[in-house]
């Protein structure tokens, strides 16, 4: 399905979410939308990326605060999962950056790292990079590791261990 169709569907769902929300929740939707709109242009400029379509809406997984879908063309942020909107936004925009400049690593990660294995998901290179960027607003060089090197580390069973050593931030914002 085309990205804009997915966006329209998600947007309709988010409108329904808003309609069904309580007064308190409506306030959070509004606050999140305002903050994201105020910040996103500057952040995209800093990352040299094309602005993705952004949907502020509910995400059914109880621990997921945001997600980057459609190869970085669409991001979603759930306003009811805490008010760290800008950290979540930076995290998701970093994934857009990864799709723009490091697509090979993203694809390799998707093919080689099991998402249902907690440890390897948390310690996979694209998530470590996105968490680091979200927190420190800079690059820790992890995305400069060539795929061939990641491949070798993975074959030796050393990848998770090596990536853990590069971990610079807490895992608090890992479920995004
Ligand atoms: Zn992520």
> 3-state secondary structure string, the chain?
CCHHHHHHHHHHHHHHHHHHCCHHHHHHHHHHHHHHHHHHHHHHHHHCCCCCEEEECCCCCCCCCEEEEHHHCEEEECCCCCCCHHHHHHHHHHHHHHHHHCHHHHHHHHHHCCCCCHHHHHCCHHHHHHHHHHHHCCCCCHHHCCHHHHHHHHHCCCHHHHHHHCCCCCCCCCCC
The pLDDT assigned to 167 comes to 72
**Burial class of residue 31, CB neighbours in 10 A (0-12, 13-18, 19+):** middle
The pLDDT assigned to 117 comes to 63
Residue numbers in the chain where pLDDT is lower than 70? 116-118, 120, 168-176
175 Cα–ligand 1 center, Å: 7
The pLDDT assigned to 108 comes to 94
129 Cα–ligand 1 center, Å: 9
The pLDDT assigned to 2 comes to 87
The pLDDT assigned to 39 comes to 96
Where exactly are the structural domains of the chain? Answer: 1-101, 102-176
The pLDDT assigned to 159 comes to 85
Q: For residue range 2-46, what is the model confidence (pLDDT) as tens digits?
A: 888 998 999 999 999 988 999 999 999 999 999 999 999 999 999
Which residues are found with C-beta within 5 Å of the ion, ligand 1? 127, 130, 176
Q: pTM value?
A: 0.90
152 Cα–ligand 1 center, Å: 23
The pLDDT assigned to 44 comes to 98
């Amino acid at each position: 399905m085309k990205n804009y169709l997915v966006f329209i569907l998600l947007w309709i769902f988010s409108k329904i979410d808003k309609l069904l929300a309580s007064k308190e929740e409506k306030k959070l939707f509004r606050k999140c939308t305002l903050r994201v709109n105020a910040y996103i242009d500057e952040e995209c400029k800093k990352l040299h990326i094309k602005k993705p379509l952004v949907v502020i809406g509910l995400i059914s997984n109880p621990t997921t605060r945001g997600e980057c879908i459609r190869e970085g063309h669409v991001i979603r942020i759930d306003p009811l999962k805490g008010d760290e909107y800008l950290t979540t936004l930076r995290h998701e925009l970093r994934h857009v950056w990864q799709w723009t400049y490091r697509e090979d690593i993203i694809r390799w990660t998707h093919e080689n790292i099991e998402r249902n294995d907690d440890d390897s998901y948390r310690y996979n290179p694209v998530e470590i990079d996105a968490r680091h960027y979200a927190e420190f607003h800079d690059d820790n060089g992890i995305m400069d590791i060539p795929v061939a090197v990641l491949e070798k580390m993975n074959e030796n069973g050393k990848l998770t261990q090596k990536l853990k050593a590069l971990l610079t931030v807490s895992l608090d914002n890992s479920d995004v």
